Amino acid sequence: MKRIIIEAEKCDGCKSCSLACMQAHRKDSGDIYTLDLNDINNESRNFIYKQPDGSYRPIFCRHCDEPECVISCMSGALTKNPEDGHVYYDKEKCGSCFMCVMNCPYGVLKPDDATKSVVIKCDFCKDLGGEPSCVKACPKQAIHVEEV
């Protein structure tokens, strides 16, 4: 199973990972130069927070072994794929109760900003094939994929 591994001490807060995520999941076509950062529909599935000491804390879905989001999902919208170990979200099944948001121990999941009715969650860029966009975009290799 492949997982995103975070080495926070390498992160310089550039947010290349967040931009790459937004680009990978945008609804319209175009390259990074035409990505509308003010479009409420272009949301990143990862976050970088600046700590009081000046360091940065990357927050990414861990695709946990025993994901609290899946356990708390009453509608079955969140499932853990036994083959690749990733947690996937089906917005068609979602009841918008946001129990998954409340139960994620890492604070990664969130309601979308546009409708407040679906969950924004990492999908490991499954439709793009290969490495997740965030990993490919990190100039410091603070995030990388490992076989676990």
Q: Indicate the pTM of the whole model.
A: 0.91
pLDDT tens, 8-31? Answer: 999 999 999 999 999 999 988 899
Q: Which distant-in-sequence residues (6+ apart) come within 8 Å of 22 by Cβ? A: 35, 37, 42, 43, 44
Structure tokens belonging to residue 111: 């309601």
Q: Do the two domains 1-60+122-148 and 64-121 of this chain adopt the same fold?
A: yes
pLDDT tens, 69-118? Answer: 999 999 999 999 999 999 999 999 999 999 999 999 999 999 999 999 99
CATH 3.40.50.720 fits domain 64-121: no
Which of these CATH numbers, 3.30.70.20, 2.40.50.140, 3.40.50.1470, 3.50.50.60, describes 1-60+122-148?
3.30.70.20
Structure tokens belonging to residue 135: 């990993």
Burial (CB count <10 Å: 0-12, 13-18, 19+), residue 78:
buried
